[in-house]
Structure 1
Amino acid sequence: MRIGLFVACITDSLYPATARATVRVLERLGHTVVYPAAQTCCGQVHYTSGYRREAASLAGRFADVFSGCELVVTPSASCAAMVRTGYPRLAAREPRAADAPRVLELSEFLVDVAGVTDVGAHFPHRVTYHPTCHALRSLDVGDRPLRLLRAVRGLELAELPAADECCGFGTTFAWKNADTSVAIVADKIRHIGATGADVVCALDDACLTQIDGALSRLRGGVRALHLAEILAAGDPAGDR
């Protein structure tokens, strides 16, 4: 299958390894991945901050850039949620938003479209999974990421207490309400520590930025990794 790849802004700027890992996983399964170089932001930050005109313009651009793709995959649950739930609300302002192609978060594509849970990964670590708010509430990805993790050879999956609680990032929330954000992530870090895991993974690099920032200050040795990086491990090009 020929797949368009959409890379979130924070991934493009700070976590290119997530994008590379996504490509490795998809190509390992025999898919052709196309990366339209003209892609920019999906408009989620603008939309959630109240800048609907700017968000609508970006939605129209997204539709144009990916117009040749039957399906788009992204390693960002929040961006997938923006296209699927935000764009229809912007269509009255920007009709092109209604023409955006189908967008799936990586775990949705792997389980629902590719029909696989075992992608050939090997990652001998104790891992816990944090379901991000958009993945949990907007996309309802359910246990798809957990099914993928359970199929990774050598991986020990640890259940995260209070997993459905927010990490405190919330796009601009962390900047505008820093004290509250820090209090929320402190609870999340405590729960991660209780699992005894050496890696915490999620579907959004933005949330992992929040979590990793708090973990790094504790210097406890717990790493934050995107699910794609774990699924790419075991590939000669992707071993960590």
Structure 2
Amino acid sequence: MKIGLFIPCYVDQFYPQVAIATLQLLEKLRLNVHFPLAQTCCGQPMANSGFESLTSGCNLNFINSFEEYDYVVSPSGSCVLHIKDHLHFKGREQESENIKNKIFELTEFLTDVLKIENLSASFPYRVGLHQSCHGQRGLHLSQMSELVAPSFSKTEHLLKKVKGLELVALDRKDECCGFGGTFCVAEEAVSVKMGKDRVADHLIHNAEYITGNDMSCLMHLEGILKRQKSNVQVIHIAEILIAG
């Protein structure tokens, strides 16, 4: 199994430890992992802002970087969903479809492809889980509470296998944090209020850490926590699954 590791640009620039933890986790599971050096932004910021016509270079580069791998794995639900929904390039339609079918968000890959049942990880803290919208409603990493349907969460499934970790119960476990990519720039006040509400839910339940599948959402929450001078920290799930 030859894995292409896709690291989003904001993780590369601001949270390289998440990329390292993802690599270490996959290698710990004895996978053959490669990091294509030519990879860059997937094009999501432009597409979300209404300029999808400007993403052709990103699309072609992504195809050229990842077409040779059996699977493409990334620690970002939003970027994975963007590729699944929007990757295309005229004349490379088949390659685009192939990548769409073999790209996975990290926890999705661990649960659905590798079917992990045992993790030698230890993280003895109270942890609140933020389930990002792209992962939940786009990739179906967890069930939406507004639906009358059986509850599930692939992320919770993995966290419950971590020794010593206490997963706190939130009042509104699948509420949006307000980040929304360019939404937080265009609608700053609304975004901040949503983020404060999300943080408050974790604080009232005495979480020591907030984790999730997307560092973009966690970055938004981290900014609010720092402004409130809170001791609560954010941590990507990959860092937890490799801890101990």
Q: TM-score interval w.r.t. the shorter chain?
A: over 0.9
Alignment of 1:29-44 (within 5 A): 29-44=29-44
- Whether the 8 Å CA contact 1:56–1:93 is kept in 2: the answer is no
Which stretch of structure 1 is more off in the superposition, 55-64 or 141-150?
55-64
Equivalent residue of 2:184, what SS? helix
Aligned to 1:205: 215
Q: Which amino acid aligns with 1:100?
A: I
Alignment of 1:180-191 (within 5 A): 180-191=190-201
Compared CA separation, residues 149 and 131, structure 1 to 2 (3 A):
same
Equivalent residue of 2:170, what SS? coil
Partners of 2:170 and 2:8 lie apart in 1 by: 26
- Whether the 8 Å CA contact 1:24–1:232 is kept in 2: the answer is yes
Q: Which runs of 5+ in 1 are unaligned?
A: 235-240
TM-score by length of 1: 0.92
TM-score by length of 2: 0.91
Alignment of 1:112-123 (within 5 A): 112-123=112-123
Q: Which amino acid aligns with 1:218?
A: Q
Q: Which amino acid aligns with 2:60?
A: G
Q: Offset at 1:119? A: 2.1
Aligned to 1:130: 130
Aligned to 1:148: 158
Partners of 2:44 and 2:170 lie apart in 1 by: 28
Alignment of 1:66-145 (within 5 A): 66-87=66-87, 90-91=88-89, 95=93, 97-100=96-99, 102-142=102-142, 143-145=153-155
Alignment of 1:155-170 (within 5 A): 155-170=165-180
Partners of 1:49 and 1:117 lie apart in 2 by: 40
Partners of 2:117 and 2:105 lie apart in 1 by: 14
Aligned to 1:4: 4
Does 2:192 align with 1:193? no
- Whether the 8 Å CA contact 2:130–2:210 is kept in 1: the answer is yes
Partners of 2:192 and 2:134 lie apart in 1 by: 19
CA shift digits 1:60-79 (9 cap, x unpaired): 21011111111100000001
Partners of 1:160 and 1:86 lie apart in 2 by: 33
Partners of 2:233 and 2:79 lie apart in 1 by: 23
Equivalent residue of 1:100, what SS? helix
Q: Which amino acid aligns with 1:216?
A: K
Partners of 1:83 and 1:174 lie apart in 2 by: 22
- Whether the 8 Å CA contact 2:72–2:99 is kept in 1: the answer is no
Q: Which runs of 5+ in 2 are unaligned?
A: 143-152
Q: Offset at 1:112? A: 1.0
CA shift digits 1:56-105 (9 cap, x unpaired): 33122101111111110000000110111122xx4569746445351100
How many residues are aligned here?
Answer: 232
Q: Which amino acid aligns with 1:129?
A: L
Aligned to 2:224: 214
Where does structure 1 differ by over 2 angstroms across 4 or more consecutive aligned residues?
90-101
Aligned to 2:46: 46
Q: Which amino acid aligns with 1:224?
A: V
Which stretch of structure 1 is more off in the superposition, 48-57 or 33-42?
48-57
